[in-house]
Structure 1
């Protein structure tokens, strides 16, 4: 992992959920012969930023598939309380491990269609306007990936419950900038996973 002393933006990858709607450990779902959480983490490492993964449900199995990757892992012991809890756990670890980080880019392990050009635009915008919160939106719904600047870290570390950082986006709406995302499929159900398989097959034929 890159040296924490020189970190700017750190990717906070949330992989702690139980996958109730999916019916099991979607982090381990196979995508082209690779577990989904590993595929996402490996792709994000290509952005040349530190990656910190928060595990919870199925932690032993998820950590095992990430074991050889150059990233940090922090286990959320009370993941059952919701995404806010795992996000707070990750934020506290980020503040400890990367004291000079300028921002946290929150990403979900169930978003396997990583749009690297989108992330590049968000990072560039952060360097231009470091006080802005940068969110993505599909069909006018804001959500991850979301970039939170350093002054939001304490608020992230205080989150709890099931609603993640939505309350922060609402509270700071005046400084939120939104980036449109066209391929950010969240794998919440087996049908979503089938859609991702189709999208990957299309990409493969184009390449």
Structure 2
């Protein structure tokens, strides 16, 4: 069953003051870390959605196995980046069965997490497989094609969380113990670096 990956990297890191996609951890930028984990899965296509800082990020990130797309409406919120990413995936592979939506600042996203999402979908036939951490469900999240129309019509800053809430009966989760660790502030980044 074919699965694509959308990496959301369009935000302007307003609380950090500089592009968090370009912060380094263990020798790679945060965006490179998730990109390389996606590439190792062999899931295709892999689409990175850029917005703010697209030029700076693009100068450092050029991978033959990844398609980069620019969301000119990135300021309107995450929903527009999800729609842009999915429409790009569909333009590359119109018969795709599933997409995994992930973000560029969850430092410990791994190939295994992506693969486990797909395995869980195959084993349960649930249309949504989310990651579970700190009593919440979140990214990375797999959506079956039956949710593509809803994803394409999202608006605002809420992302896809409302689709999870509205379809709990068709959703299950996998554990992602370190999923809560992301980088929103300079303090988050300092904690990450100092707690290695």
Task: Give the TM-score normalised by the residue count of structure 2.
Answer: 0.92
Deviation (angstroms), 1:17: 0.5
Residue 54 of structure 2 is matched in structure 1 by 59
- Give the SS at the match of 1:128: helix
Rounded to whole Å, the distance in 1 between the matches of 2:116 and 2:34 is: 19
Residue 195 of structure 1 is matched in structure 2 by 191
1:140-161 Cα shifts (integer Å, max 9, x gaps): 1111000000111111111111
The 5 Å alignment of 1:52-91 reads 52-91=47-86
Tell me if structure 2 keeps the 8 A contact 1:130–1:149. no
Rounded to whole Å, the distance in 2 between the matches of 1:32 and 1:26 is: 15
Unaligned runs of 5+ in 1: 1-6, 202-207
Matched, 1:172 2:167: yes
Bigger Cα displacement from structure 2, 50-59 vs 126-135: 126-135
* Closer/same/farther in 2, CA of residues 92 and 68 from structure 1, 3 Å limit: closer
The 5 Å alignment of 1:146-157 reads 146-157=141-152
Bigger Cα displacement from structure 2, 141-150 vs 25-34: 25-34
1:25-48 Cα shifts (integer Å, max 9, x gaps): 001112233221122211221111
Task: Give the TM-score normalised by the residue count of structure 1.
Answer: 0.87
Compute the RMSD of aligned alpha carbons: 1.6
Rounded to whole Å, the distance in 1 between the matches of 2:114 and 2:73 is: 29
Size of the aligned set, in residue pairs, is 194
Unaligned runs of 5+ in 2: none
Residue 8 of structure 1 is matched in structure 2 by 2
Matched, 1:118 2:113: yes
Tell me if structure 2 keeps the 8 A contact 1:12–1:106. yes
1:85-132 Cα shifts (integer Å, max 9, x gaps): 111111111122111211010010011212333322211122233442
